[in-house]
């Protein structure tokens, strides 16, 4: 990594209250890397909202896991906590809530349901740079937060993406995958 890249990773992570930032080429690879770092692959199911950009679901396909769609909450346009819980099966390993169109998914309820069922949570924050939930940066309360810097996003570098995490072991796995 260049010094500039490391400085950006540290500053972006700190501004979202996360300990580690791992910069990548786009916000699809970040989702794929997040799933791979969490050891999710063939035979596993990952729940994603039925309304999102296709990268959220494709990343699940890229690691060989099964995409399971759950409905959105019409009030937030994000994953409905009850639809999420209803979609859980014994094969479910993770969920990817998306803060779509800068409307927040109900993180409190989604994280509580995930904890109850021992599921991993990857937050797709591709639209939510700088967002806060209960005073804390998005992407920093789940296992891994994923952001995109593609041209149409709030903060753009033309292309780019970053994963945030507070877990040193996960940060190392993300970096190796990159
Ligand atoms: C843009 C976007 C991504 C990732 O996009 P890239 O173009 O690969 O950086 C992922 N999820 C959502 C919801 C997006 O809008």
Beta bridge partners of 63: none
Two tokens, residue 98: 């998306």
pLDDT digits (tens), the chain, 178 positions: 799 999 999 999 999 999 999 999 999 999 999 999 999 999 999 999 999 999 999 999 999 999 999 999 999 999 999 999 999 999 999 999 999 999 999 999 999 999 999 999 999 999 999 999 889 999 999 999 999 999 999 999 999 999 999 999 999 999 999 9
What H or E segment, with its residue span, contains residue 112? helix 107-116
How much is the pTM?
0.97
Two tokens, residue 120: 């991993």
Tell me the CA–centroid distance for residue 138 and ligand 1, in Å: 16
Residue of the CA atom closest to atom 5 of ligand 1: 27
Two tokens, residue 28: 């699809």
Two tokens, residue 73: 């909450």
- Give the whole-angstrom CA distance, residue 10 versus residue 106: 27
Two tokens, residue 130: 């700088």
For ligand 1, which residues put their CB under 6 angstroms from it? Answer: 26-28, 52-53, 55-56, 98, 124, 126-127, 148, 150, 161
Tell me the CA–centroid distance for residue 134 and ligand 1, in Å: 24
Q: Residue 150: how many CB atoms within 10 A of its CB?
A: 18
Residue of the CA atom closest to atom 2 of ligand 1: 126
Which among 149, 157, 51, 35 has a CA at the least distance from the CA of 100?
A: 51
Tell me the CA–centroid distance for residue 33 and ligand 1, in Å: 14
Active site residue 153: yes
- Give the whole-angstrom CA distance, residue 132 versus residue 148: 17
Which among 9, 4, 40 has a CA at the least distance from the CA of 24?
A: 9
Residue of the CA atom closest to atom 9 of ligand 1: 27
């Amino acid at each position: 990594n260049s010094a500039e890249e490391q400085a950006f990773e540290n500053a972006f992570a700190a501004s979202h209250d996360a300990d580690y930032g791992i910069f990548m080429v786009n916000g699809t690879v970040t989702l794929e890397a997040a799933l791979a770092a969490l050891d999710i692959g063939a035979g596993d199911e990952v729940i994603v909202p039925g309304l999102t950009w296709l990268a959220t679901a494709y990343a699940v396909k890229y690691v060989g896991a099964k995409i399971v769609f759950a409905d959105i909450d019409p009030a937030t346009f994000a994953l409905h906590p009850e639809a999420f819980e209803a979609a859980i099966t014994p094969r479910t390993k993770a969920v990817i809530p998306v803060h779509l169109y800068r409307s927040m998914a109900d993180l409190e309820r989604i994280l509580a349901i995930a904890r109850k069922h021992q599921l991993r949570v990857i937050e797709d924050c591709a639209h939510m740079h700088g967002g806060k939930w209960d005073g804390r940066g998005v992407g920093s309360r789940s296992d891994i937060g994923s952001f995109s810097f593609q041209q149409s996003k709030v903060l753009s570098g033309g292309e780019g993406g970053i994963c945030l995490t507070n877990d040193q072991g996960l940060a190392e796995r993300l970096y190796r995958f990159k």
